[in-house]
Structure 1
Amino acid sequence: MDILLLERIGEDRFLVLAPPPAWTGKLSQTGFKVGSEVSLSEDFLVLDTFFPDAEDLWISGREGTISCDPWIQSDAEGREWPLAARAMHSDGKPLLLLEHLGESYTRQQQIHQLARENMLSKDELELEVHRRTALIRKGEEELAHRLLDVSNWRDEETGAHIRRIGLYSELIAKALGWSLQDLDDIRLAAPMHDIGKVGIPDYVLLKPGRLDTEERRIMERHAFIGGEMLKSSEIRMIEMAHQIAIGHHEKWNGQGYPNQLAGEAIPISARIVAIVDVYDALSSERIYKPAWPEEKVLELLQNERGAHFDPELIDLFFELLPEIRKIRLQLPDEKG
Structure 2
Amino acid sequence: MKTGVTILRFLTIIILSVILFSRHSSALTPEEAIRAQTAYEKGVQHLENNELKEAKSYFITAASLNYPPALFTLGELNLKENRPATALKNFQKAASSGFPRAIFRVGTLYAGGIGVDKDLRTAFTWFEKAATAGHPIGQFYVGQMFLSGNGIKQDNEKAIHWFRVSANQGISRAQYSVGHMYYMGSGTPQDHKQAKIWFQKAALQWHLQSQVNLGVMYYKGEGSEKSAIDAFKWWDIAASSGHEQAHNFRRNVAAQMTEEELRVASRLSMDWIIENHAIPHEHTDLTHSLEIHNQLNQNNRQ
> Does TM-score exceed 0.5, indicating one fold?
no
Answer 1 or 2: which has greater helix percent: 2
- In the superposition, the TM-score normalised over structure 1's length comes to 0.26
Query: Which structure: larger Rg?
Result: 2
- In the superposition, the TM-score normalised over structure 2's length comes to 0.28
